[in-house]
Amino acid sequence: MDRAILAALQRDATQTASALSGRIGLSQPATWRRIKRLRDARVLSGRRVVLDREALGFGVTVFLGVKLATKGRVSLDDFERAVTAIPEVQLVEHVLGLYDYRLRVVARDLSDFERVLRRRVMTLPGVGDVEANVLLSEERRPGPL
Amino acid sequence: MDRAILAALQRDATQTASALSGRIGLSQPATWRRIKRLRDARVLSGRRVVLDREALGFGVTVFLGVKLATKGRVSLDDFERAVTAIPEVQLVEHVLGLYDYRLRVVARDLSDFERVLRRRVMTLPGVGDVEANVLLSEERRPGPL
DNA sequence: TATGAAATTGACTGTCA
DNA sequence: TGACAGTCAATTTCATA
C-alpha cells in the first residue's frame, strides 16, 4: 500500500491526501498517516519545486565530466569548495570511474557557457581533463519501486 | 522579489504562502498571487517528491554514457523506446558530445547493477560504447537565479 | 476579509498473535 | 490483552476569490 502511495506521488506530487485516499481505497486520515510515516522515516525525504530554466532565460544545460590532476584529500576538498561557489553549477556529483566529478551547468546561451567554462571551470584548483556534453532533451522515469 | 520567492521555494518547497510572506515582507495574499503568477507563467513548472533511494533498498546509483553504433532517426527512436522500458533507469538524457545518451540507473547493489547492465543495457538496440561512473555523493546547488 | 478545502488531531472500533 | 491500523467527527490551517 505504501508503494502505491509513493508511485502515485511520484506521478503527481501536487495531489492531496484526500485525492490519494480515494484512489487507493483508504480513508483520508489513514492515507495521511501513511504519508506522514513515510516522511518521518525519511523515505519521502522532501519536496522540490521544478523551475523552467528556459522561462528564466537559461537555455543551455551542459554536463561536464572533470578529471582532477591531483587527488589528495586536500585536492578534493579544495575542488568541492571552489566548485560549489560557481552559481551556474546546479549539481556536483562525486563519482568513481573515468571522471572524478560530474557537474551540471546551466547558462543563458552558448557564449555565456563559454564564459563560465573559461573563467570559472578551467580555473578550478586541480582541474585536469574536462569533457562536455550539451543537453538536448531529457526524460524522467518513475524508477523502480 | 519574484527571485526571492523562487530561491526560498527551492530551499524548501513545503513552506506555505504565509510563511513565505513573513520572510520576504509582503502580505500573505500578495505573496500567494505572485506564486500563482509564476505557476501560470510555467516558471514554476511543477513539484516533485524526493525519495530516499537508500531507505528503499537501492544503494547504488550509476551514470552511464552511451554511444550508439548506428545513428539514423529510427535508431534514436528505437533506443529511446527500449531504454525507457527499463525500470531501473531513472533519467534519460539525449546529449551532444562524446556520448549520445546519458542514463541514470539505480540498483540494489553492485551485483544487481551488473544484472541490469548485462541483461538490459548491453542488449539495447544500436548500443555501441558504454562508459560508467558510480555515484559516491552529490550536492544540489540553488543554481543561478 | 470571508469561504471552502485540506491537513491535523482525538476518540473509538476491529483484528491479530 | 496489547499493538496496530483503520474510520468518523471535530478542529485548525491554508489556499483562494
In this prediction, residue A113 carries a pLDDT of: 98
| Residue burial A44-80, b: 16+ Cβ < 10 Å; e: rest | bbebbbebebeebebebbbbbbbebeeeeeeebebbb
Torsion of CA A48, A54, A55, A56, to 10 degrees: 80
In-domain check, residue A140:
no
**Could you say which residues 35-74 of protein chain A have a Cβ atom less than 7 A away from any atom in strand C?**
36
pLDDT at A62: 98
Interchain CB distance below 8 Å, A97 and B134: yes
pLDDT score for B108: 97
On whether residue B68 sits in a domain, the answer given is yes
Q: Is the pLDDT of residue B17 over 90?
A: no
Residue A21 belongs to some domain of the structure: yes
In this complex, the answer to whether residue A33 has its CB under 7 A from any atom of chain C, a nucleic strand, is yes
Considering the domain architecture, whether residues B81 and B127 belong to the same structural domain is answered as yes
> Same structural domain for residues B11 and B77?
no
For residue B65, the domain's CATH number is: 3.30.70.920
Average pLDDT, chain A: 94
Spell out, as residue ranges, where chain A has pLDDT lower than 70. none
Shared-domain flag, residues B26 and B82: no
What mean pLDDT is predicted for residues B28-50?
90
Question: What's the pLDDT score for residue B12?
Answer: 87
B66 and B126 share one domain = yes
Domain match, B70 and B126 both: yes
Q: Which helix (H) or strand (E) holds A72?
A: none
Look at residue B18 and tell me if it is in a domain: yes
pLDDT at A74: 84
Q: Is the CB of B119 under 7 A from strand D?
A: no
Q: Is residue B80, in this structure, part of any structural domain at all?
A: yes
Smallest Cβ–Cβ distance between B14 and the set A14, A47, A139 belongs to A47
> Would you say residue B41 has pLDDT above 90?
no
Same domain, B117 and B69: yes
Domain residues for the domain of A30 are 2-40
pLDDT value for A56: 92
Contact A47 B47 (CB under 8 A): yes
Residue B21 maps to a domain: yes
* Chain B residue closest in CA terms to A66: B133
The verdict on A81 and A129 lying in the same domain is: yes
CB contact under 8 A, A42 and B56: no
In terms of domains, do B76 and B128 share one? yes
| One domain, residues A129 and A64 | yes
C-alpha cell at A45: 525525504
pLDDT tens digits for range A57-87: 999 999 999 999 988 888 899 999 999 999 9
Please tell me whether residues B81 and B125 are part of one structural domain.
Answer: yes
Mean pLDDT of chain B, nearest integer: 93
Cα-flanking dihedrals φ and ψ of residue B65, to 5°? Answer: -100, 125
Q: Does the CB of A30 sit below 7 A from strand D?
A: yes
A115: CB partners within 8 A, 6+ apart: A107
CB of A92 lies under 7 Å from some atom of strand D: no
Predicted confidence at residue A20, as pLDDT, reads 93
Identify the residue among A48, A76, A106, A112 best suited for mutation to test binding to B, counting B beta carbons within 10 A and taking the highest.
Answer: A48
Residue at B79 is within a domain: yes
List, for residues B89-135, the tens digit of each pLDDT value.
999 999 999 999 999 999 999 999 999 999 999 999 999 999 999 99
Q: Are residues B97 and B126 in the same domain?
A: yes
**pLDDT (tens digit per residue) in A117-127:** 999 999 999 99
Residue A139: which of B42, B84, B99 has the nearest Cβ? B84
Which of A41, A134, A145 lies nearest to residue B95, judging by beta carbons?
A: A134
Residue B81 falls inside a structural domain: yes
Same domain, B29 and B66: no
In a 3-state reduction of DSSP, which class is residue A56?
coil
**Is residue B145 pLDDT above 90, yes or no?**
no
The number of domains in chain B is 2
The predicted structure's pLDDT at residue B1: 81
